[in-house]
């Protein structure tokens, strides 16, 4: 059971406050959507959850049954899909998966690889026909989802996961997010998409300026 707690968190860049003070709790098995206009701080919120950024004021803590997780411990729990994550253009889909999963000590059998491609609805033939640099943005997004699914993480940080996906792709994301929450994954979802908002048990609305 994981709990993420924001206590009176304010975030500023170059002296300009983006949001805050914000207090919130996110829990395992729950889907929390972070909403707000462009620039309101949704991606920043996810970075604070992942301890990729320290808050200007206040505290963000991630705890499990044994207490507060340190940054290195937290990393093992987290998986993230974000536009800022770059796949390697000159690697194949399989090589990208092996690289990113290898960082987590996970090796993927051929059958598991094929199954993951099926889950994210990326055709085996198309995925293997080109380097990922030649993929459409939607295909790259599906591949990022496949890495997330294989990562065995219990905290998912999804930054506008449906952007660049067609309707079938957005339905796939919704299906996987719901299934993950049922398996007690904590999902934090930055979005402006009403369909994705509708998945959420909890909404944190950032005001923007
Ligand atoms: N590392 C950074 N340095 C300076 N400003 C930043 C940084 N990250 C984000 N910002 C600013 O913070 C605001 C919120 O950004 P972001 O969290 O990306 O918003 P959103 O994801 O809601 O569109 C924007 O004005 C952005 O320019
Ligand atoms: Mg963003």
Q: Does the Cβ of 40 fall within 6 Å of ligand 1?
A: yes
What letter does residue 205 receive in the DSSP assignment?
E
Please give the pLDDT value at position 6: 98
Query: How many whole angstroms separate alpha carbon 83 and alpha carbon 134?
Result: 17
Give me the pLDDT at residue 81, please.
97
DSSP string, 2-33: -EEEEEEEEEEETTEEEEEEEEEEEETT-EEE
The low-confidence residues of the chain, meaning pLDDT below 70, are 208-209
Check residue 209 and give its pLDDT: 52
Distance 133 CA to ligand 2 centre (A): 23
User: What gap in Å lies between CA 177 and CA 106, rounded to an integer?
Assistant: 21
Q: What is the pLDDT of residue 208?
A: 62
Helices (H), the chain: 42-49, 71-77, 93-102, 110-119, 124-129, 137-150, 167-182, 194-197
Structural domains of the chain, with CATH: 3-205 (3.40.50.300)
Instruction: Identify the pLDDT of residue 41.
Output: 97
Distance 122 CA to ligand 2 centre (A): 25
């Amino acid at each position: 059971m994981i709990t993420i707690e924001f206590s009176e968190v304010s975030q500023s860049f170059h002296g300009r406050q983006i949001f805050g003070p914000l207090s919130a709790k996110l829990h395992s098995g729950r889907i929390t959507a972070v909403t707000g206009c462009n620039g309101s701080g949704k991606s920043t919120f996810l970075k604070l959850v992942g301890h990729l950024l320290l808050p200007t004021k206040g505290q963000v803590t991630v705890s499990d049954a044994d207490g507060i997780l340190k940054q290195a411990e937290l990393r093992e729990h987290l998986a993230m899909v974000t536009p800022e994550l770059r796949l390697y253009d000159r690697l194949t889909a399989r090589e990208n998966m092996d690289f990113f999963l290898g960082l987590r000590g996970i090796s993927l059998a051929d059958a598991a690889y094929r199954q993951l491609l099926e889950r994210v609805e990326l055709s085996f033939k198309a995925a293997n026909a080109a380097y990922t640099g030649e993929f459409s943005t939607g295909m790259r997004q599906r591949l990022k989802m496949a890495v997330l699914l294989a990562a065995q993480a219990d905290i998912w940080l999804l930054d506008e996961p449906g952007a660049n996906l067609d309707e079938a792709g957005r339905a796939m994301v919704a299906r996987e997010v719901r299934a993950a929450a049922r398996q007690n994954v904590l999902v934090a979802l930055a979005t402006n998409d009403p369909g994705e908002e509708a998945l959420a048990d909890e909404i944190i609305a950032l005001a923007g300026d």
